[in-house]
Structure 1
């Protein structure tokens, strides 16, 4: 028998906090305020114990190396918040169903981007709605996130049954398969829906690899709240360059683009239209 190693006590100094603030801003644009010292400590302590590192300075030195791509990604996964659920902020889906999608029947292949998709609930919510509203027309959903960990959950499409409480009954029956045996208490997104949702890692600070891609609708919800104003403007401009003329950008209800120099017209506080 071997005794488990004693937990390492981590105290976050101002200097260490500044190092991580600079690193996360550089790589993902994340604004980590000084008030988040406790969060930094709690999110990274377990991993540092695994690596037998005694200070945050040592861990920063490790993940700051250019070659430390995998460990740096792991730290980003630990720090970033991935709270989501199916049909979150229902009014956006009501807008799509009742006002927007009926006007897009002439679009031969409707392309939607879930730009901060987390573990896939938003992307599959969009897919269910499109599957119902465009049964005879082509559509696809591109789902992206900075975190490889949550993207793997999205690709799998397997969720605890409790996560489906906001999914309309008709969608549950049509697009969700009830698990049995070891998957009892879970549901799986139907294969025909999963085939139309593509999950890929994207950093909103660098979208150069998708230079020619254009979308009719972009969901960028509950992510820019983690950026400072300058980074918000940079990200929104980069994202809206992927939006077709006449396309729609939808942000979270708690987010605002007020005061940003953007070529967008506000239709409601969280729904914007690219007029040119």
Structure 2
């Protein structure tokens, strides 16, 4: 019986992927991420019948293989998220949204690293609670097309309900039955308030309009200081004067920008013009 050995990711090959993901997405991968890179990409090697990670990297560098490059980016940038992560931020949103909302324009929130949709749907449930049927919308963006496809469906395994308040479950979530048993679906009225789109924060941003609140959470930990400054600098013109910029509790904008003023740890405000 012949046992097929699994390709090994050399240090040189790993450095190639490190450089690639930094140049494309601004993400700094430490040497400790080498097993993650190897594990997430090995199936692609098998898919293409390749014997080395170097061969796969060369495919990614071909101009006519942008589809495969996007698959690799999806695999290397996907991070775990969940509903109502760091719940104090959503308490703050519910408290501030009514006073920030104006009758002459919709109240807008941007979830700038939305992953598979849990954060933007949490935002949408929170706004539905306090703003009801008034004009408001949520934009969810990510660099990964794969997680955005999942996010648009609004369909999740039942184990993901942890963290969602019980009264929100009954108002905004539908329990699957029959073949959909063991899953739940975000209610259509909430889903319709959320628009998902692919955005690379490390590039010139598309025309997204202005926002009252921007969430940029649990993503800057993957950026070096120079990239953090560049990303925040691109985003700040999209934040309305008086609007809030929210990062993770483990993150800070200290040394990144002096445009925003600290409200509470992890919550910043853009001064009124």
TM-score bucket (shorter structure): over 0.9
Within 2, Cα distance between the matches of 1:166 and 1:199?
Answer: 22
Give yes or no for contact 1:247–1:274 (8 Å, CA) kept in 2.
yes
How far off is 1:21 after superposition?
1.6
In structure 2, which of residues 106, 112, 124 is the aligned counterpart of residue 127 of structure 1? 124
Structure-1 residue corresponding to 2:167: 170
Structure-1 residue corresponding to 2:227: 231
Within 1, Cα distance between the matches of 2:182 and 2:200?
Answer: 34
In structure 2, which of residues 82, 88, 93 is the aligned counterpart of residue 91 of structure 1? 88
Give the direction of change, closer, same or farther, for the CA distance of 1:165–1:35 in structure 2 (3 Å limit): closer
Structure 1, residues 75-123: CA drift from partner, whole Å, max 9, x if none?
111111321111000010111123x123224353101101000110111
Counterparts of 1:101-120 in structure 2, within 5 Å, are 101-106=97-102, 108-120=105-117
Give the direction of change, closer, same or farther, for the CA distance of 1:53–1:5 in structure 2 (3 Å limit): farther
Q: SS of the counterpart of 1:152?
A: helix
Give yes or no for contact 2:213–2:243 (8 Å, CA) kept in 1.
yes
Structure-1 residue corresponding to 2:157: 160
Structure-1 residue corresponding to 2:190: 193
Within 2, Cα distance between the matches of 1:193 and 1:207?
Answer: 29
Tell me if 1:248 matches 2:241: no
Give yes or no for contact 1:12–1:41 (8 Å, CA) kept in 2.
no
- Once structures 1 and 2 are overlaid, which stretch shifts more, 4-13 or 67-76? 4-13
How far off is 1:17 after superposition?
2.1
- Once structures 1 and 2 are overlaid, which stretch shifts more, 45-54 or 182-191? 45-54
Give the direction of change, closer, same or farther, for the CA distance of 1:134–1:261 in structure 2 (3 Å limit): closer
How far off is 1:5 after superposition?
8.5
Structure 1 residue ranges (4+ consecutive) displaced by more than 6 angstroms after TM superposition: none
Tell me if 1:142 matches 2:154: no
Give yes or no for contact 1:7–1:49 (8 Å, CA) kept in 2.
no
Structure-1 residue corresponding to 2:262: 266
Give yes or no for contact 1:237–1:262 (8 Å, CA) kept in 2.
no
How far off is 1:55 after superposition?
1.4
Within 1, Cα distance between the matches of 2:127 and 2:149?
Answer: 23
Structure 1 residue runs of 5 or longer lacking an equivalent are none
Give yes or no for contact 2:78–2:144 (8 Å, CA) kept in 1.
no
Within 2, Cα distance between the matches of 1:5 and 1:174?
Answer: 54
Aligned pairs, number: 271
- Once structures 1 and 2 are overlaid, which stretch shifts more, 257-266 or 69-78? 257-266
Query: TM-score scaled by structure 1?
Result: 0.93
